[in-house]
Amino acid sequence: MLGRTALGKYRLLRPLGSGSNAEVFLAEPIRHPGQQVVVKRIHDHVVTHPKFRQMFEAEVRSMAEFSHPYAVRFLDAAVDDPIGPCLVMEYVPGVTLEALLETDKCLDPVRAGRLLGFLCHALQAAHAAGVIHRDLKPANLMVTGAGTPAEALKVMDFGFAGFAAKPHIQLASLTGRGPIHALGTPAYVSPEMIRGDPVDARSDLYSVGVVLFEMLAGRLPFDAATTDGLLAAHVEQPPPRFHRIGCGHVSPRAEGVVQLALSKYPNERQQTAREIAEGFGAALAEPLWEQTYPYGDEAAASAPVVRYTPAPAPARPPAAAPLLQAEDPFRVASRFEVSMPERLAAAKLRGFVEDFCGQVLSSEPGVILMRVGVPAGYKPAPPKGSGLFGWIGAIRRPTVARGQEPIEIELLMEKPDPALARLRVDIACRPLADFPPHNLAGWRDRCDKLHTVLRQYLGA
């Protein structure tokens, strides 16, 4: 890759590292030689994922919408570049906190507290913008000016963050079957992510607690031989007390801040990143929040920014086409808002599915697709031109009575205010292609009644 050009304007100079998802290069803008940027090229095996484009667009959108002096700045991106999908970010000279801890082992509380202050300022701003990082760890924290009075910290990979405005009710929560997917790195992941509970900004605060524990103790709070054992420890085991692992340099009051951040449930922790920084500062008698307040970053502010314009996504197959589209006489849609946390909404929707013998087809962030009234043994019709077997399948297709045609439902959900447990829900219904309604008025009346039932289940 060295010597090649990304996005037609960034020449790759040397590799900086490689991870499970991407390889990272130091590069220079062709029009501004002497300046340096970072190009992150996504690995080929990631690009083949069926939802890669969706994930890439979400990553770029997250990075483009959020900017802070203590977060690595997004500059440019391309999903269809000749060398592969790429992200371009500002270059921050320094060492990762992971590398720093490998050499220094553990940090004195005041030094750890200052780094904590920078981290908490970035998180406070991100959470206020509705952005959750979800993968905080020392490898994603860049320390600049390490070991000098100007030592500071910047958060990397906010691009892998999730927007809190898109609630994700996982498929297993709606059906009782299937795995719960926990994002993040096992050593730093929050208990609620492992349990499959709804995740908000306080999940990041747990990860902050793990990082702070590691800075002070020189080791992780939980150590297990297997990933499953490590995840179980996050959910079930209390972290060790500092005096039992030889960390007498940490005062009981400072330890209390760490232990509180490592609480198993979000309601038991500090509720904001600022609260962690101010609490730890009070324990040290140091105004950490004020000492690390960002007064601007002139170098980052002067760097050129190219607004990313996503390439058109390939057409989705007809079976997965969105329901919310105009000029469809059989589309019936409505909108409402309800004050309800995601976990309760999941339980209510699961009750609806069970009571109406429904089928949940998919559940992605902000989108749930389900069906009701599908006859037993139904399988989608094969594509046209499939010959004799398609004809046999059509003969065996179950029938339904008029006025009882199956209904496909799409729920679009978002949080108008990520800080509040309030959901905005769009409901849209349409018929299955194999069971077209015979009466438009009757069909719309059935859909209206179904909308009313869903509103009642969700307490609207």
328 is catalytic: no
* Cα angle value 256/259/261 (rounded, 5°): 110
**Pick the catalytic residue: 44, 81, 104, 135?**
135
Which residues are known to be catalytic?
A: 135
